[in-house]
A and B are shown apart, each in its own frame.
Chain A
Amino acid sequence: MDFTLNSDQSAIADALDKLAAQFTTVPTEFHGFALVGEELERELEAGQYFDIAAIPELGTLAAALAVERLARLPCTAEIALSMLLRPQLDIELPRPFALVENGRPGRFLVGAGTVIVIDGENIGIAHPAPDEVAPVESLYAYPMGRLTGRPAVRPLAADEAATVRTWLRVACAAEIAGLLQAAIDATVEHLGVRKQFGRPLGTFQALRHRMAECAVLAGGVRWLALKAAWTGDAGDAALAALHAQDSATRVIYDVHQMMGAMGMTLEMSLHLWTYRMKALLSELGGRGGQARAVAAYCFP
């Protein structure tokens, strides 16, 4: 048990910090919902960051740390499934990855090399042609798409499907961990400078306590996500995803309340994190689905 980064983990964390530093600002002309980080994705490809889970010195824990770190950026790219799920599959599959659950719109579907298709209890893999997908306008701060055709879906065996579910949960939790932290950071900054009744909002105990509770939740999500990434255990993954979706549900509400009308504006950018989390709240059956999985794996 050692919660301090080792030299390899520190090196990759430092490299990611350096890379991420180029993408921390939102272009002034951007007033949209999903800020797609095409350049970020190119940099990650060029640096072979999508493969760090396969490097023995780094592994899945370093990949989860990377997902968490990069999720804090205002821009988004398909990172989590490529870094965490893709290395768990026996065959080499082209990225970007997308997830389509029960026919609903999915993140990064347009341009996806591989699509995980969940239909009830069944999980399969598809590689849709460009004319089988279409973009969808949405409130979510990810580029969303919908399957318009019927691509061939290769069903996965039960053990493969279980692996996919586990790592989808780890990816979801790791990404939410980063999104929570970024949303909290932005809100804390606002509470420190925004004055009402003659003093900063952050001096009011009603808000301080709520933010503190949000911080406790976010820290807990991070620890559970990292542990699940280390163990790869189905129960740990379900636990992490449950706590992530639970915590995100609460924190999204709280940070928007605290940001007030300013947080409603697209120029404030809070939505770039909170409306990404909203897209993740329904994955794998949402909180009810995760709770059922926790009960099945942890209370057999």
Chain B
Amino acid sequence: MDFDWNTEQQDFRSTVRAFLEANLPDNWEELAHGPGSKAQTLFSREFCGALADAGLLVPHWPARWGGRDADPWIAFILAEEMWAAGEPRGGQYMNVNWIGPTLMRYGSQEQQARYIPPMARGASLWCQGFSEPEAGSDLASLRTRADRHGDVYRINGQKIWTSYAGHADTCFLLARTSPGKGGISIFLLPMDTPGITVRQIPSIIGEGDIHEVFFDDVEVPETARLGEEGQAWDIVRVSLSLERVGIPRFALASRMLHRAVALLKNADRFGPDAAAQAARAHAACEVSRLYSYSIIDQRVHGQATSPEASAGRFSTVNCERLVSEFVVEHVPDALAGGDPMLLAHHQRGIVAGIASGAAEIQLNLIATELLRLPREPR
């Protein structure tokens, strides 16, 4: 056990920082007001293309898919630096973190050939068709149906709170092919397929971030199904374990905390109360950082994802919360036109405890799998 970065890791971080320095535009702070916004989506396509050209979009992917087989530490350093900068990759982080790797593992040759190269070039944007009006945390109760008719499926139903759907070219969709938890299948669905309607939902988290997606007799070939019928749960479990530690929210939270403290210091307003609160928020950020590192370390050593991933997720929720509360209490003007980066962070911070499995679901997992407490009766 040690807590030092090796030379390769330090050099890689420097390379990423230098890339950001050279490629983020002067108006980035104004632009970075939500990864789902039109302005940021357009910028992200350009930015991810440049990242790919520099070999920095998917370094952890296998060489045959455009990567260089870099270890999970390299992928996480990349993610840390990107997130700390306000995530200029926009929604494409999902491709890099979990959609691409999921397709590599479960996709057909045709699906891999069709979808992975554009991801590796930074030229595609996906959305995640999981949640439904009656299926949030209880995802297994989803109702969107994919009925088989010969060699096609006809999809009917509704997804909601879908990030990036307004600009996405493809949807990673969960739909029911038969009753019960084992009756859910995954479809890779081009968003320009007839019968799909996307409506943006005005939200507090930023422009263009969440949507309703309606499916009315959307017809897809059997080849659009990922894996076998009814295999969704097994695949999604693997995908979400990649997603859960995939977003180093602590990196941006920590940077925003230091930014807020700097603003207070410049205004000579960093008194003892603010200092005490900032200290706790800083501790929470560093706890989240170390939990995340511990999960990456498990991956590096080829270990299965442990229940600590849920503890890490919960610690991330804590750090986002404490930093957001600090800003609201001590730099309130940031949310009223005073600072676009603090504003954007505050808008997105609320997502931490809700997306990819609510914080309370993580607590259930910790209780059962880490503490081994007896399960609740159902």
Interface residues of A (CB under 8 A from B): 1-6, 9, 61, 65, 184, 188, 191-192, 199-200, 202-205, 208-209, 211-213, 215-216, 219-220, 223-224, 226-227, 230-231, 238-239, 242-243, 246, 288, 290-292, 294-295, 298-299
| Given A202-B373, A212-B367, A295-B275, A5-B283 contact (CB < 8 Å) | no
Residues in B neighbouring A290, C-beta threshold 8 A: 279
Residue of B nearest to A239 (CB): B283
A205 touching B279 by the CB < 8 A rule? no
A223 touching B294 by the CB < 8 A rule? yes
A3 touching B373 by the CB < 8 A rule? no
A299 touching B258 by the CB < 8 A rule? yes
Residue of A nearest to B9 (CB): A1
| Given A2-B297, A215-B311, A215-B366, A203-B2 contact (CB < 8 Å) | no
Give the distance in Å from the alpha carbon of A230 to the alpha carbon of B284 in the complex.
Answer: 19
Of the stretches B223-231, B240-248, B285-293, the one at the interface is: B285-293
B261 touching A220 by the CB < 8 A rule? no
B364 touching A205 by the CB < 8 A rule? yes
Residues in A neighbouring B83, C-beta threshold 8 A: none
B283 touching A224 by the CB < 8 A rule? yes
A242 touching B280 by the CB < 8 A rule? yes
A4 touching B364 by the CB < 8 A rule? no
Chain B CB count within 10 A is highest, among A9, A192, A208, A212, for: A212
Give the distance in Å from the alpha carbon of A295 to the alpha carbon of B360 in the complex.
Answer: 31
B1 touching A3 by the CB < 8 A rule? yes
Selected contact of B301 from candidates A4, A220, A243, A246, CB within 8 Å: A4
Q: Does B149 contact A (CB under 8 A)?
A: no
Residues in B neighbouring A61, C-beta threshold 8 A: 1-2
B374 touching A200 by the CB < 8 A rule? yes
Selected contact of B314 from candidates A211, A216, A231, A288, CB within 8 Å: A216
Rounded to whole Å, the gap between the CB of A209 and the closest CB of chain B is 4
| Given A209-B360, A231-B3, A203-B279 contact (CB < 8 Å) | no
Can you list 6 pairs linking A and B with CB atoms under 8 Å apart?
A65-B1, A212-B364, A216-B311, A243-B287, A291-B279, A291-B280
Residues in B neighbouring A209, C-beta threshold 8 A: 360, 363-364, 367
B276 touching A291 by the CB < 8 A rule? yes
Residues in B neighbouring A294, C-beta threshold 8 A: 275, 278-279, 282-283
Residue of B nearest to A209 (CB): B363
Rounded to whole Å, the gap between the CB of B312 and the closest CB of chain A is 9
Give the distance in Å from the alpha carbon of A73 to the alpha carbon of B293 in the complex.
Answer: 28
Rounded to whole Å, the gap between the CB of A71 and the closest CB of chain B is 18
A220 touching B291 by the CB < 8 A rule? yes
Give the distance in Å from the alpha carbon of A40 to the alpha carbon of B308 in the complex.
Answer: 32
**In the complex, the 8 A-B pairs of residues with the closest C-beta atoms, listed nearest first:** A220-B287, A295-B275, A294-B279, A223-B290, A202-B373, A208-B367, A212-B366, A3-B297
Selected contact of B363 from candidates A3, A208, A288, A298, CB within 8 Å: A208
Give the distance in Å from the alpha carbon of A204 to the alpha carbon of B375 in the complex.
Answer: 9
Residues in A neighbouring B318, C-beta threshold 8 A: 216
Residues in A neighbouring B374, C-beta threshold 8 A: 192, 199-200, 202-203
Beyond A200-B374, A220-B290: 9 further Cβ-contacts under 8 Å?
A1-B3, A3-B1, A3-B294, A9-B1, A203-B374, A216-B318, A219-B315, A239-B282, A294-B278
Rounded to whole Å, the gap between the CB of B152 and the closest CB of chain A is 43
Rounded to whole Å, the gap between the CB of A242 and the closest CB of chain B is 5
Chain B CB count within 10 A is highest, among A4, A205, A226, for: A4
Selected contact of A2 from candidates B2, B278, B280, B363, CB within 8 Å: B2
B279 touching A242 by the CB < 8 A rule? yes
Residues in A neighbouring B370, C-beta threshold 8 A: 212, 215
Residues in B neighbouring A295, C-beta threshold 8 A: 270, 275-276, 278-279
B279 touching A212 by the CB < 8 A rule? no
Residues in A neighbouring B280, C-beta threshold 8 A: 242, 246, 291
Residue of B nearest to A65 (CB): B1
A213 touching B314 by the CB < 8 A rule? yes
Residues in A neighbouring B150, C-beta threshold 8 A: none
Rounded to whole Å, the gap between the CB of B186 and the closest CB of chain A is 30
| Given A192-B374, A215-B370, A220-B1 contact (CB < 8 Å) | no
Q: Does B337 contact A (CB under 8 A)?
A: no
A213 touching B283 by the CB < 8 A rule? no
